[in-house]
Structure 1
Amino acid sequence: MSEYPVVVVGAGPVGLAAAAQLLERGLQPLVLERWAHAGAAVAQWHHVRLFSSWSELVDPAGGRLLEQTGWVRPDEAGYPTGREWAQSYLQPLAEVLGSRVRFGAEVVGVARRGRDRVVDSGREQEPFSVHLRTAEGEMRVLARAVIDASGTWGGPNPLGGEGLPAIGERAAADRIAYRVPDLADAEVRARYAGRHIVVAGSGHSALTALVALSGLAAEDPATRISWVLRRGGIGNSFGGGDADQLPARGALGQRARQAVESGLISVVTGFRTEAVERDGDGRLVLVSATGDKLDEVDEVVALTGFRPELDWLSEIRLELDATLQAPVRLAPLVDPNVHSCGTVYPHGVKELSHPETGFFLAGMKSYGRAPTFLAMTGYEQVRSIAAALAGDHEAAERVELILADTGVCGGAGLFDEPAPAGGGGCCAPAEPEVLTLSAPPRAGN
């Protein structure tokens, strides 16, 4: 099957890194991206500053490929916004890869050619059949292997505390956001200013929103912020602080702690949302599983994590952990009840393999419902996968990554979550310019 390319689903950071690693190994990648440009999901949080520096955000093979074109590597000590990451690295890398990246190609299904999920006979001798939806119509591409790096951005968890939308949550969709608001946008800022805002979630996305919104509350005393936690207390939600070897991430938690201690944020613990109602004035009322109510709510920012979209992989034999929906050998290493993102042992092809030989989940999608994924972890994943596909099993099994100790991680993240501008500062939006898309991406690409 060597005449077929290795198909990579998604032209985000890990998908493009996979292509660069494969190309460096002499293999032919074909990246399929639903949207019109690289880093489409990253562009959706363009205003957020990462807490990883440039030194941790450029894949080694991707950097080597770019440097051949005269590309100038950004200052490794700097912390880019999502917009800067996309414009200064992801989009140039996609341009260098050229026709190996196909935009406007939505993957809607993957199978073995001529075999459904049940058939054993001759299965591994057949290439993968990747079904696409494009502007020209439906088609398929044959592949020797498939790396699904489509992420989880399109699958935010609901506000409801049972993993399903709370009763009335869908009907209140006009008042509920599932992304960190961009307060540099005048319309967005006007939506939240002078309102009672509930932020639900305990991870870095929630901390980012809290810090940004607390700045709004400091300017406008009419702005009220309630931080709703499902757990019984704040616990380790603020992270490792000074003990975090990613200083910007530790600073984010410290800023959130200061906002709470200053009284700008009210904390509501042990509150699992069961229903969303409207009062006589049209404002929201959140009702907990125990009957407690949080009333006079104008806006909700639900940042409770992400989950992988697996429907279009129904004909692939995946071996997923029943709890996390991550590969079974990876799941114990990323279990949020045990690990922070810095205590996860670096892993590769061995932990990412499935009964379907040649198929891999990589990047954030490989973590299933586990939180806080680091870009450099994804780069190590695809380095190992590319080595294995090239037959270099010694390199595939070799660990080439040392992760910083975090102290604590938790909650749902993007790739790395926001960091201070200029070090030690805030995670507030850095520029008012907007990198726009016609519609938000979903996890399928």
Structure 2
Amino acid sequence: MHTLAQLRAGQLAGIQRLQLSCGLTEFPPEIFDLADTLEILDLSDNALSTLPDDLPRLTRLRVIFCSANRFTVLPAVLGACPGLTMVGFKSNQIREVPAASLPPQLRWLILTDNRVEELPAAIGACTQLQKLMLAGNRLRALPPQLASCTRLELLRIAANQLEELPDWLLGMPRLSWLAYAGNPFSAADEQAADAATSIAGIPWERLQIGQKLGEGASGVIHQAVLQQTGGQQDVAIKLFKGAVTSDGLPRCEMTAFVNSGDHPNLIPVLGEVLGHPDGVHGCVMPLIDPGFGNLAGPPSLESCTRDTYPADKRFSVDELFGIACGIVSAARHLHQRGIMHGDLYGHNILHCGRGRSLLGDFGAASLFAPDGPHAAALQRLEVRAFGLLLEELMERCDLPAATQASLTALQAQCVSADVGARPSLEEAERLINSLRA
């Protein structure tokens, strides 16, 4: 975090990333003094409502964050910044997205938790778009021109007012991670799931909170001790961050999590937190062995949609097959129960280093009817996500030539641009298990 005093004193000359959060109501003109080097500008958590018309003077600017400000319109000047690839205006009061506000090289647009009712047809011209985050708005429909964004891989449209899931959306060639829970078209499936299951309530006073274990888009996970009759149990607690997360609604996450059922490669849920002093929602899970860690790191600003790994990360053949077999089995199990995970990523997988893996974080999960009209397309959408995970594992493993050839062929089928040509998860699981044997 930088200060306005540092900026005005010229102490930040030459920096590439500037972060200011100091109650700004106007754009500091001194920022233009950094035009020769500034690439990432973060003005989140201020009180801004406009950006200057000469913003394109920041000729090297690639990324801008203005979350938690007071914008009601996405500034049109953004579209005049030719190098801008990432725009983040989460948690403002934005109602209008002008066609002129979309930069030509846009890869990543975040408008989560605003009041947007309509997207411009011009979004179809953003042919480099890979990541579009729109959860928690008031969209009633998606513009069909979005189908022209054939590089789109991640889409968050949960917690809107969408009446249908367009057929063209599920045919997009690279779409891999989709979250749509909390819309009118999904309400019947969610209500049926809520009615079909129940979850134990765990009073807050029975929980003793310990150290923070991790944090994701939807919540923070803490270690805790659960006081029970006759003893105590070490557990983990996920406390949701707010009414709307980057992926959707905590209520929908809980519904999917509770309905996930028992599977050796899924993290189970013990109960729901009751009576938190601040009214925060949360769930209680068994404490996972500390020998487990995240398989990968989340995407970076540069990788956009792909997970990150240490440069020297390697997997043995046994580890690769252990992870791949476990995750494809868990995903297939979820699909049989009418749940699309929506975030099938390495950073949501815990791995013990010996091939055992656990898929967690249902923040982007959505429900569907297994016999419904969209069931097959939704499942093959997630097959692509599995194919990308398999590719990441293979890149970091020395496989025998014959096995490499077979897995490469399967991986290529999983990520086929023709959604209908992809194998089912059942077929993928069968082949991987045969190769493992």
TM beyond 0.5: no
TM-score normalized with structure 1 length: 0.23
* Structure with bigger RCO (C-alpha 8 Å, 6+ apart): 1
